[in-house]
Amino acid sequence: MPRGLLIAPQWIGDAVMAQPLVAMLAARGEHVAALGVPSIAPVLRAMPGVTEVIEAPFRHGRLDFAARWHIATALRSRGYARAYILGNNVKSRLVPWLARIPERIGYAGEAAGLLLTCRHHAQNSSSRADMRKHYAQLAGADARAALAEPTLHVAPDIAASVCARFGLPARWIAVCPGAEYGPAKQWPVEHYGALALRAQRDGYAVAVLGAPSDTQAGEAIARLAPHAMNLCGRTRLDEAIALLAGASGVVSNDSGLMHIAAALSRPTLGIYGSTDPRHTPPAAHHSATLWLHLPCSPCFARACPLGHLNCLRGILPETAWAALEGLMRH
C-alpha cells in the first residue's frame, strides 16, 4: 500500500475542507498520514481516511527550522512515496523536502513552487474557488465533477459522554459567535441572544462554544438568554468536536466550528457576511447558509470597511431560527 503524507493547513475550516482529498486518496489505496499543528490535530483525528496524525509544534508565521528538521529526520525511514502540501508557502514544503519524499505535490504559490516536484496552478485565479475542489485537484480530481462532502466522525458513546460531562441534555442548541479572522465575520451577539431565547422557549437548552477570545461574547449571550451555558474557553478542541457531534442543531459564523459541525452531519446554519459561501461552504449533509449578498459583500475584510456591518445585522434572528428549525425537522 503506497504511503502518502498530507501537510495540513493551519486553519480549522481549511483542514475540514481537505477531507474529500483524504477520502480520494484512501479510496485508491493510499495509507494517509497527516502532519499538522496541535491546534488542528483533533480535527485530523476525527477525519475518516487519516490513519496517523503527526503533531508539528510550529508557530504561526515562524520558520522553526530546527523543529522542521527534527520531524523530517524522523520521517525519512517511513517510506512515504508522496506528500500533498496544502499550504502555498515555502515553509510548508520544508518537511517533505527535508524528509526526502520523492514526490512533493502542491500549488505553485510562493516562490513559483520552490521545493515541489509537481506544481499545480490554481483554477479561477480571478475569483475564489471552492476550497474543497481546490484541494482535491491535487489528487487529480476533475474541477467540474461532483465531489464528496467533507466528513468527520465521533463515536456516539464518546459524544454522549462528553455532553453529559458538561451537563447538556438530549435537546440542545450550540451557538458559535466567534470567528478567528475578525469581526466582519461575526453575527451580532444581540442576534445570537435573541435566537438563544427563542430556542429556550421551544424547549432546547443552549450552549455557547468558542475559544477563550470568545468568552466575552459568550457572557453577553448568556446575559441576554438566561440559563444559556457559556462554554467559551472551557473546552479543548477535541471536547468541542464531541459536543458538536451531540448537538440537536448549530448556528455559527463562517468559522472552524461551523465546518466541524456540518462535517459531523449535524443540522448546521452558517451565517455569512464578509465571506462567500461559494468559496468556503459548510458540508451539505444537513446544512444551510444565510447570506444577504449585498453589493459590498463579500469584501473578505477583517473589519467592515464601511463601518455598518449591514451584511450581518440584516440577517434577523427569527429568519435564522426558522432556517435552523427546518434543518432539524427534516
- Report yes or no on 20 lying in a domain: yes
| CA dist., res. 245 & res. 262, Å (int) | 9
| CA dist., res. 205 & res. 210, Å (int) | 17
Give the helix/strand (H/E) hosting 249. Answer: strand 249-253
Report how many domains make up the chain.
2
Q: Is there a single domain that holds both residue 165 and residue 294?
A: yes
Q: Is there a single domain that holds both residue 174 and residue 82?
A: no
- Report yes or no on 88 lying in a domain: yes
The residue behind cell 461552504 is: 281
Looking at residue 120, the DSSP 8-state letter turns out to be E
Q: Is there a single domain that holds both residue 202 and residue 171?
A: yes
**What's 235's domain CATH number?**
3.40.50.2000
Rg of the chain taking only CA atoms, in angstroms: 20
On whether the CB atoms of residues 191 and 320 are closer than 8 A, the answer is yes
- Which SS3 state, helix, strand or coil, does residue 297 take? coil
Query: Residue 266 corresponds to which cell in the numbers above?
Result: 449535524
pTM of the model: 0.95
Task: Print the domain residue range for 66.
Answer: 3-139
How does pLDDT run along the chain (330 residues), one tens digit per residue? Answer: 899 999 999 999 999 999 999 999 999 999 999 999 999 999 999 999 999 999 999 988 789 999 999 999 999 999 999 999 999 999 999 999 999 999 999 999 999 999 999 999 886 544 467 899 999 999 998 878 888 999 999 999 999 999 999 999 999 999 999 988 888 999 999 999 999 999 999 999 999 999 999 999 999 999 999 999 999 999 999 999 999 999 999 999 999 999 999 999 999 999 999 999 998 999 999 999 999 999 999 999 999 999 999 999 999 999 999 999 999 998
What amino acid is encoded at 295 in this protein? Answer: P
Q: Is there a single domain that holds both residue 80 and residue 209?
A: no
Q: Is there a single domain that holds both residue 169 and residue 306?
A: yes
Q: Is there a single domain that holds both residue 318 and residue 171?
A: yes
Q: Is there a single domain that holds both residue 10 and residue 85?
A: yes
Q: Is there a single domain that holds both residue 87 and residue 184?
A: no
| CA dist., res. 10 & res. 185, Å (int) | 19
